[in-house]
Homo-oligomer: A and B are copies of this chain.
Amino acid sequence: MILDELTRCIRDLNRDGHSPATSTNYSCRDSSGKIWITRSGIDKSLIESNDFIEISAEGRALPPFESMTPSAETGIHCALYELFPDTGVILHSHDVSAVVQSVGVGSICFEGYELQKAFLGVTSHEGKIAIPVVPNSQDMSVIHSALLERKGELLYGVFMIEKHGYYAWGRSVFEAKRLLEAFAYLCRAERLLNS
């Protein structure tokens, strides 16, 4: 059931430009603790709920999916489930405004927007929030290490990989999608304000 809800969400995110060129990957941990992740090489405009495969907490494809390839970034999903035990859903986005805002910075900051309240634990537009940006790498263990080093900055449920994209996670599809949309929106606003 959560796979159906997540599938619908992924199609909507595709339509809004978050997953160009078959990029991005998505996962959920269902009520029985099983972790499901999108298999590699799906056009997200066509994703079906049977395009998910079950993986172990370490990211290995479990039977009957041993012959299939989980998404290349499975290690990031596993790391987030381990770091944040409440997490039920992890979304990914290549939103172009976010990617453009990430170039050459260690964090992307927002100040004074009402929409900052979409982030976990933020109850006012006042103040500033900073989303960590880590360097891109094809070696997932490098990104994993960067996440561990900056764990204290992961409190908002979003982190960005430079010139790559970002992850948003939450207890439910609803919560993770809210974070994903909020971050894209705020990056767009910052881009417009500074162009």
Which residues of A are in contact with B by a Cβ distance under 8 Å? 12, 20-23, 41, 43, 45, 94, 96-97, 99-100, 103, 112-115, 118, 123-126, 136, 138, 161, 163-165, 174, 177-179, 181-182, 184-185, 188-189, 191-193, 195
Contact = CB atoms under 8 A, between A and B. Distances in A.
18 contacts: A12-B45, A20-B115, A20-B182, A20-B184, A21-B185, A22-B178, A23-B115, A23-B118, A43-B177, A94-B115, A96-B185, A96-B188, A97-B192, A103-B193, A113-B164, A115-B164, A125-B136, A192-B195
Contact of A181 (B21, B191, B192): B21
A119 to B, nearest CB: 9
Contacts of A182: 20-21
Contact of A20 (B161, B181, B192): B181
A15 to B, nearest CB: 9
A103 B107 CA distance: 22
A94 to B, nearest CB: 6
A174 B125 contact: no
B22 A118 contact: yes
Residue from the set A136, A163, A179 with the largest chain B CB neighbour count within 10 Å: A163
Given A125-B164, A138-B123, A138-B124, A114 B23 contact: yes
A124 B163 CA distance: 12
Contact of A185 (B20, B174, B195): B20
A104 to B, nearest CB: 10
A185 B20 CA distance: 7
B136 A114 contact: yes
Nearest to A138: B124
